[in-house]
């Protein structure tokens, strides 16, 4: 991907996307679940409906896949497998959203697509059509999808047209802020596989712009202007992280950057892209959360800080921290990429859903 990008043959993310294409599977029904590719509000979704008799109203999940807002697909083998399993074991309707991707569709388009689908699905007539209990609907997502799930949950609070309240928000190793990219987790895991710091910086910057100046500023953590310095209170890891995650790292406070970057690309200061920037008053109204973080992950501290802020705001939080796991570990549940840690994380997650959704 890097070579093709440098040679001008294709964009870096388009090269990366070729890997995704190899993983796509058709919407194949099985004895337990009907699977169809359709559209909700003109956004493509993969819809999973349990075959067995409901025995009352069903639970439901609106799911957003990961991939740094640039990669990934609801039709990928691991996503399809997990959605089927949730639909079957929980007798739940699962709506897995194929939102448009950057760099062709930058912020706020992925957010708007996921919000549009969620708002459409939460209409009482749509819930009724699929036999869904309006009191048992959640949003969920992994990585960039966790970012979108958190942002959608927040935005629903401000929408007077939405009467249905979410039962839960599920954030699996989520990316939740683009202000401080020098957290202890970025320092500890900057060169570890699956998601090194350089790739996460690339994902964040591509979400907003192709301007390499933003990427370079983010890489050196000098992209937030001084006039936005007050926002760092919401991501101050010296206060929000537990001691075992802070370790011997020293918090030095922000180094400010060129105001032009934030003026030209204001998205990275927007709570719809960085849900950790939401006020305490807004967080207080959110539904209960399940947050998974992994020790060997640059995004570890985003999830941990959000868990702390939600708890402080009085929101019930289950924070599952996997000390032996890495970013994306739950997707490693199918041969030839099946790992015991992936199966264990998925099993724990399923148990929580059964009890709390």
Report how far residue 188's alpha carbon sits from residue 100's, in angstroms, rounded to the nearest whole number.
32
State the catalytic residue, choosing from 79, 87, 96, 143. Answer: 143
Report how far residue 301's alpha carbon sits from residue 240's, in angstroms, rounded to the nearest whole number.
9
Structure tokens at 283: 């967080």
Active site residue 180: no
Report how far residue 224's alpha carbon sits from residue 231's, in angstroms, rounded to the nearest whole number.
9
Active site residue 185: no
Across 73-219, where does the E strand assignment appear?
Answer: 92-97, 132-142, 168-172
Phi/psi at 3 (nearest 5 deg)? Answer: -65, -45
Active site residue 124: no
Report how far residue 346's alpha carbon sits from residue 247's, in angstroms, rounded to the nearest whole number.
28
Structure tokens at 234: 């919401």
User: Which residues is 48 bridged to in the sheet?
Assistant: 35, 94
Structure tokens at 13: 């993310």
Structure tokens at 315: 């929101």
Find out whether 86 and 95 touch, Cβ atoms under 8 Å: no
State the catalytic residue, choosing from 297, 301, 302, 319. Answer: 297
CA distances from 63 to 10, 98, 106, 173, 279 (A): 30, 9, 20, 14, 25
Structure tokens at 172: 């699996």
Rg of the chain over CA atoms, in angstroms?
Answer: 19
Q: Could you give the residue numbers annotated as active site?
A: 143, 297, 327
């Amino acid at each position: 991907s890097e070579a093709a990008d440098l040679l001008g043959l294709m964009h870096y993310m388009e090269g990366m996307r070729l890997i995704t294409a190899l993983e796509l599977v058709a919407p194949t029904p099985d004895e337990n679940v009907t699977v169809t590719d359709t559209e909700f509000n003109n956004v493509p979704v993969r819809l999973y409906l349990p075959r067995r008799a409901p025995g009352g109203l069903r639970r439901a999940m609106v799911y957003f896949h990961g991939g740094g807002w640039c990669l990934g697909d609801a039709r990928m083998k691991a996503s399809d497998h997990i959605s089927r399993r949730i639909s079957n074991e929980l007798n739940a309707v699962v709506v897995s959203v194929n939102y448009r991707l950057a760099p062709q569709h930058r912020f706020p388009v992925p957010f708007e697509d996921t919000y549009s689908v969620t708002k459409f699905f939460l209409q009482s007539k749509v819930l009724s059509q699929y036999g869904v209990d309006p009191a048992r609907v959640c949003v969920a997502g992994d990585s960039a999808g966790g970012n979108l799930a958190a942002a959608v949950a927040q935005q629903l609070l401000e929408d007077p047209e939405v009467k249905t309240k979410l039962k839960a928000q599920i954030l699996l190793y989520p990316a939740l802020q683009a202000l401080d990219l020098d957290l202890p987790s970025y320092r500890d895991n900057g060169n570890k596989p699956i998601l090194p710091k350089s790739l996460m910086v690339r994902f964040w910057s591509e979400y907003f712009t192709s301007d390499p100046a933003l990427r370079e500023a983010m890489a050196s953590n000098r992209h937030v202007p001084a006039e936005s310095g007050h926002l760092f209170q919401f991501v101050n890891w010296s206060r929000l992280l537990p001691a075992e995650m802070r370790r011997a790292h020293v918090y030095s406070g922000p180094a400010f950057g060129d105001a032009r970057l934030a003026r030209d690309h204001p998205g990275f200061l927007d709570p719809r892209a960085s849900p950790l920037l939401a006020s305490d008053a807004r967080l207080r109204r959110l539904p209960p959360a399940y947050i998974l973080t992994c020790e060997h992950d640059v995004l570890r501290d985003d999830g941990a800080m959000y868990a702390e802020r939600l708890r402080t705001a009085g929101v019930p939080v289950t924070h599952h921290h996997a000390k032996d796991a890495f970013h994306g570990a739950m997707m490693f549940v199918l041969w030839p990429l099946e790992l015991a840690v992936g199966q264990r994380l998925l099993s724990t997650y399923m148990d929580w859903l059964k009890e709390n959704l």
